[in-house]
C-alpha cells in the first residue's frame, strides 16, 4: 500500500492516517496542532462562545416577545409585589438552598451523579424535606423532582419519603 509522508513530523504513514481534506498533516499532528492552538488562544474561544450565546439569546428573546404579543398576554400589574412577597416569605428556604449550593461548590459536600430514586445518570438536584437540616437532601433528577413537587400523587412521592426516612432516621418531614 502506498505511504504518504507527513509534512509536519516527516514520518511516512498510511493514507488512513490522514484526513481526506488535510493531506499535509497526519491525524496525530493535526490533533496536536489543534490542542496547542486552543491552549494558546483561550480569549478568542471565550469571545466566540460569548458571541454565539448572545446571538442565540437575542433570537430566543425576540421570538418569545413576538409570541407574547401575538397571544395578547400582558404582565400582571402587581407582578413586582408578588415577587417581593414570595422572596420575603421564603427567605429561610432560599438561604438554606444557597448554603447547600455553596457547600457543593466548595467541595465539602458531594452531589450524587445519579438520581436516588430512578438511578438515572445526570446532574442531580437537591430536594429538602426539612429545611432545619440543610444538608439532609435527596439527590434527584429533574423529572423525579418535578413529580415530587407536583400536585398529583405519584408512587415516586411515597418512594422518596420512604428513602428519606431510611437515609435520615429520626428527622421529621415538614415539606412535601
Among 17-26, 49-58, 138-147, 166-175, the range of highest mean pLDDT: 138-147
User: Phi and psi at residue 172, in whole multiples of 5°?
Assistant: -70, 150
Q: Is residue 147 predicted with pLDDT exceeding 80? A: yes
Q: Is residue 1 predicted with pLDDT exceeding 70? A: no
Confidence of residue 40 (pLDDT cuts 50, 70, 90): very high
Q: Is residue 70 predicted with pLDDT exceeding 70? A: yes
**Residue 87's pLDDT is what?**
87
CB-CB contact of 159 with 117 (8 Å): yes
97-105 long-range contacts, CB within 8 A, separation 24+:
97/126, 97/128, 99/134, 100/126, 100/128, 100/134, 100/135, 100/137, 103/135
Confidence of residue 174 (pLDDT cuts 50, 70, 90): confident
Mean residue pLDDT across the chain: 87
Sign of CA dihedral 34, 37, 38, 44: negative
pTM: 0.54
What is the per-residue pLDDT across 82-120, written as a single tens digit (0 to 9) for each? 888 988 999 999 999 999 999 999 999 999 999 998 888
Gyration radius of the chain over CA positions = 26
**Residue 2's pLDDT is what?**
84
Amino acid at each position: 500500500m502506498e505511504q504518504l509522508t507527513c509534512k509536519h513530523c516527516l514520518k511516512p504513514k498510511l493514507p488512513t492516517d490522514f484526513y481526506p481534506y488535510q493531506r499535509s498533516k497526519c491525524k496525530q499532528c493535526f490533533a496536536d496542532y489543534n490542542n496547542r492552538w486552543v491552549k494558546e488562544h483561550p480569549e478568542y474561544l471565550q469571545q466566540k462562545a460569548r458571541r454565539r450565546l448572545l446571538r442565540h439569546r437575542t433570537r430566543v428573546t425576540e421570538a418569545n416577545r413576538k409570541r407574547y404579543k401575538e397571544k395578547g398576554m400582558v404582565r400582571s400589574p402587581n407582578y413586582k409585589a408578588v415577587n417581593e412577597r414570595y422572596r420575603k416569605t421564603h427567605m429561610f428556604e432560599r438561604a438554606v438552598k444557597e448554603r447547600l449550593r455553596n457547600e457543593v461548590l466548595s467541595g465539602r459536600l458531594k452531589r450524587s451523579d445519579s438520581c436516588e430514586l430512578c438511578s438515572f445518570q445526570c446532574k442531580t438536584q437537591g430536594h429538602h424535606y426539612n429545611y432545619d437540616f440543610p444538608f439532609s437532601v435527596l439527590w434527584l433528577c429533574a423529572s423525579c423532582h418535578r413529580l415530587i413537587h407536583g400536585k398529583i400523587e405519584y408512587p415516586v412521592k411515597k418512594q422518596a419519603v420512604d428513602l428519606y426516612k431510611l437515609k435520615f432516621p429520626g428527622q421529621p418531614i415538614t415539606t412535601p
